[in-house]
Structure 1
């Protein structure tokens, strides 16, 4: 601007003038600009320069100003972060106050397309994934073994080579069950009139059911299909009484623990479980109806810690044992007279109909051993909300080779840690912190993950915003399955539309799902959390929204899962020799989700998804309204609480749309309310030690919706009115509490309850 002024002054005639500067509207000070003295000789001997017209002067000024503005705009628009810039994100986070706003106009901030391209750039061709899968699945590596310890060290060393801010290990000491000694084996025999006739081979003697109690039981054999509640109801309709009898069930649909719990509830003496595939091997699975160490429910298992004398209510009281498909066929032919029993009639489902004097004896003997569990951690510190974590985890241990069970998840976890840390090293600025965790003792019911949750339970609902599980991520390559909290529904769908399907690259994952004659993806491929997974523990126990996903086969499950045959070769054959490529596709899904969760100003969790879930549950309960009225009860208050929750979500959405989202403190207040939605559905009226899974919709206990419906469904004339009132109150008050918490401050909550 000085240059412009000088140019004009040179071109314009200079005259003596005075300018007024007004101060306060009253005082006036005159500024006199005096003309410099002229040299009379010079002025007479020099030709006077031509004078520019006023129009030309305006044109010149306009051109100069236009060029200056264009230069500034071009500089700002084309500026990009330097790919080689290195910075210490941990130091940046420490230098900032917790609620200090991040610069909204920072030109180095990347948009979503840039972040997606950067993720694709640093995700390798799968070479490291393939190498890790081969290494982890060389052989069995159960929790507490030397092989598992070596793998934990390998994971830790790899994390240390990445651009992570912190790496560490977390140890717990627990007592775990293991296969019986060779001198005291588990066995199964058939007897006639008390005399042993034949010993049935179990398959692999090292395959067992962790947490099955030792026992020696005898009785007839009843076939209960998958061991579901409806299967036992069908047996009752066929007049088959399973009390004091042995029950045989197939794998599938529900976990081993649920099958055994249902059999125990029906009065069975013991349970045999055989694989649905026709291969001659047995599969293993723990039978603790829960997660974590059942010897210290609700308490973390640290070394030399004194615990109250209590056991988990999820431990079974009847023995259970896996057997091979061939062993199951021998039993059916011997006791029932058919190769494949059915529910067609009573004779084809119960051995005592044809062979009343023939019994089956099951003797289970397992051992227990105290071991050290090692969870391995790595972290990237967030730059704006470092106190809020996005956690991604994978199981590391396996009772078998565990190619699908633990190796693929471990490989994807390491690849995500490497890729995202490289992105941070080259310009990505996550708002929230990222935790990468390799869990131990997953085959025993996510013990490592649950013990960590129990150790930090008092603070995790304030810290952990979301959990992403990559366990058992590749079981095929045809169908994409997601298991999650309802809060992830919209985010999963969005990510599916941005990742190519591994088998049909011309379609994205969502388009491929729609091409499989699916009427509604949300009801068919978006499923509830499995009860024996780390994701279930995060949501049902800690109140942290969780998601897990996998590629599976369309027509049949992966038959080698949880067996001694779950190795690299067989898993690679199932996906047509493209195991690394399919794993890389799953890593891209998880990576995009982690970036979205850690980068977005507003957490991309759909807190309104529970509106439809609560409405459906209310409809389910309405069919019992007449029965409730008989006891002077009504669903009015529950409907009111559900309405309050719906209004609270609508109010929050409206507040977000009308708020100044450049206000960092306001953004964080909204995020705190969103990240705690799942926690609000944990009942605050029951003890975490008596009922660890306090979530009213997916947990277990008298406070849950399932318990309320079961009470109404199974009780005809003998309803416990006091218990029913309590169950209805616990459920209703929790929903109302969730609505109040989501509404914000107490002065913003309208009405009373």
Structure 2
């Protein structure tokens, strides 16, 4: 009997051990990218290298995929491409640019991508008129010229400036932000019918000019102040006689086809973008700014407005020390129909080929453009080569979703190529594009990681930068280095993209989509900007020297970060996106709105409905998150339903109550106009600053439309109408 008992216990022990071994083995090789997706919902496993990824062939571990990416990346090829592209300026429509477009397409073909094609069409761009150059002068009260102010480089201009001749006094308006103009108004300094001079930085050229026009200015001069951009004639600083170019169209795309594509043979209606300025604008150098500002009279500028121009006490104007003197600006740029070429390559997904993860980079530059477009184009080509090798060389890597590589044209003029393509295929891309990664201006320094992104990608970025080494070779991950600089690493992530710049803007603002721009720049407070961006000095030699010869290393780091994120988004069964993040962003807005609750209550108004809409969004996001975590990871039909809930919820963040032609930036969080949450906050501020201007009827309408836009997104996340419990 004892022997039977022992045999039974031994058999039971063997069964338990076999069961545990089988469980562990299956758990380690479950073959599901969903396992990694769950890591983003409940925290990544302690050792992410043990997570696995499954193809239709053998099991691939996450560590293997990272090793493949590292193996195929060529730093030398990236550097060689940057050198080649940035030898000379390559503006849209030039022979140099056409040759470069052919080179990119040939490269895509050599990489044996599944599809390669070019999208070519005419757009309206603006260039200087060499027969009638722009001028800046001191004139007397009768308009007679007194002295020319040198505009050193005739090729430096503000694309899409209004043409014309304007004369008046000069007002110093700091960065040209709305609050700067409000400060001038409070101090009694008149901007109406005068020119304003503003510093580069804080906001885009386009927003500076738009604000100046709103406050009645006759024209705008934009200069680089040494306080913002290093200007050291003995070292790697911007020379005092160098101006920066930048477009002033307060939107994106061809301004003469707003909201619809510039496809060939389209019969365009007589319409132009509301973002085109009606006043002339021109960039000037620090030397020219010193000449102007040194002769200004009027009140002293606020101390925080003082820059570092030499031998200068900053005054506001509008008069000069000689009361008989005014300033005159003549702008004579000309519009020209220009053929542009967007170049595409793609790798087909194996299970969901109709879902795209897109990587894009601007290819054109008005200057040599090493940082402007050279680095991004080089990384784009190298990532296309790497992913092609991973697919073709029997590594076992088979992306579930398609990868699209795009080289954009006419980015210098406000993402014209990207916007026109988007407008041509908007309805299709709304359903198919998952995420967009911009490589524009990817390397501007080497010691500060910076990302502009959707809230949905923050968790993914956090996990990836924990696994990529910092380019300074300090044996730290990027994440560890960022945490040293700022314990709250999320503060290094910008969730509010500017109104101009990277080519992800049109994809974000015309219809919401996950997007990210990954960049390294300088952390030093004495050198906050790469000094040669948007100048004729943006060369490979200057960029590499300012990086102390580490351009290869930094560019490779960017490629590793973007490459790993693309692997996760194309290979995981479930997309590693956290839709509850938007709830946190909305809560921050609600907290700011709540400061005005008592003042609104005194007027018989309430914010209750927008609070309720945010609450509905939060509950819907959490409910969907729970449903996904409890669902069968192999149920493709169910996963597809969840995905369509996501994209409809995103689309609903675009205001449906404003025209795309009048308001190109319709996103209620990242757009511009009365339909945005930011505009609502600005209007509520009148309760403190100027209560008499507060219009209750306008506010009620603004609040109602915003509330229903937000409620629409919450409803989209909730799913079918019978799952929505709302009282209209």
TM-score grouping bracket, smaller chain normalisation: 0.7 to 0.9
Deviation by residue 1:268-312 (Cα, 9 ceiling, x = unmatched): 110001113332201100000011011010010011211221111
2:84 to 135, 147, 155: 135
SS at 1:468 equivalent: strand
**Structure 1 residues 144, 717: closer, same or farther in 2, change over 3 A?**
same
Residue of structure 1 equivalent to 2:199: 250
Residue of structure 1 equivalent to 2:377: 410
SS at 1:110 equivalent: strand
Residue of structure 2 equivalent to 1:528: 496
Instruction: Tell me how far 1:344 sits from its aligned partner.
Output: 7.5
Residue of structure 2 equivalent to 1:52: none
Distance in 2 between the 1:751 and 1:251 partners? 48
Distance in 2 between the 1:459 and 1:506 partners? 44
Map 1:36-55 onto structure 2 (within 5 A).
Answer: none
Q: Is the deviation greater in 203-212 or in 668-677?
A: 668-677
**Kept in 2: contact 1:257–1:289 (CA 8 A):** yes
Residue of structure 2 equivalent to 1:719: 694
1:185 to 119, 129, 133: 133
1:108 to 18, 42, 58: 58
Deviation by residue 1:482-512 (Cα, 9 ceiling, x = unmatched): 0111111111111111110101340111111
**Kept in 2: contact 1:544–1:676 (CA 8 A):** no
**Kept in 2: contact 1:398–1:405 (CA 8 A):** yes
Distance in 2 between the 1:561 and 1:513 partners? 24
SS at 1:554 equivalent: coil
Deviation by residue 1:174-228 (Cα, 9 ceiling, x = unmatched): 11100122x3111111123434221000121110000001111111111111111
Distance in 2 between the 1:400 and 1:287 partners? 17
Residue of structure 2 equivalent to 1:157: 106
Distance in 2 between the 1:746 and 1:453 partners? 30
**Structure 1 residues 453, 74: closer, same or farther in 2, change over 3 A?**
closer
**Structure 1 residues 137, 269: closer, same or farther in 2, change over 3 A?**
same
Distance in 2 between the 1:528 and 1:666 partners? 32
Residues paired across the two proteins, number: 671
Residue of structure 1 equivalent to 2:537: 565
Instruction: Tell me how far 1:689 sits from its aligned partner.
Output: 2.5
Are 2:481 and 1:512 aligned?
yes
SS at 2:319 equivalent: helix
**Structure 1 residues 438, 216: closer, same or farther in 2, change over 3 A?**
same
Instruction: Tell me how far 1:534 sits from its aligned partner.
Output: 1.5
Contiguous gaps of at least 5 residues in structure 2: 1-14, 32-52, 232-238, 307-312
Distance in 2 between the 1:732 and 1:387 partners? 33
Instruction: Tell me how far 1:675 sits from its aligned partner.
Output: 4.0
SS at 2:381 equivalent: helix
**Kept in 2: contact 1:336–1:347 (CA 8 A):** no
Instruction: Tell me how far 1:317 sits from its aligned partner.
Output: 0.7
Distance in 2 between the 1:74 and 1:163 partners? 40
Distance in 2 between the 1:76 and 1:528 partners? 43
Residue of structure 2 equivalent to 1:541: 510
Residue of structure 1 equivalent to 2:11: none
Are 2:675 and 1:703 aligned?
yes
Residue of structure 2 equivalent to 1:121: 71
Q: TM-score, normalised by structure 1?
A: 0.84
What is the CA RMSD across the aligned residues, in angstroms?
3.1
Residue of structure 2 equivalent to 1:750: 725
**Kept in 2: contact 1:174–1:293 (CA 8 A):** yes
1:479 to 437, 448, 452: 448
Instruction: Tell me how far 1:357 sits from its aligned partner.
Output: 2.4
Instruction: Tell me how far 1:331 sits from its aligned partner.
Output: 1.3
Question: Over alpha carbons, which structure has the higher Rg?
Answer: 1
Residue of structure 2 equivalent to 1:357: 324
**Kept in 2: contact 1:222–1:242 (CA 8 A):** yes
Distance in 2 between the 1:675 and 1:508 partners? 33
Are 2:347 and 1:386 aligned?
no
Residue of structure 1 equivalent to 2:613: 641
**Structure 1 residues 76, 343: closer, same or farther in 2, change over 3 A?**
closer
Are 2:201 and 1:201 aligned?
no
Q: Is the deviation greater in 690-699 or in 554-563?
A: 690-699
**Kept in 2: contact 1:246–1:270 (CA 8 A):** yes
**Kept in 1: contact 2:189–2:318 (CA 8 A):** no
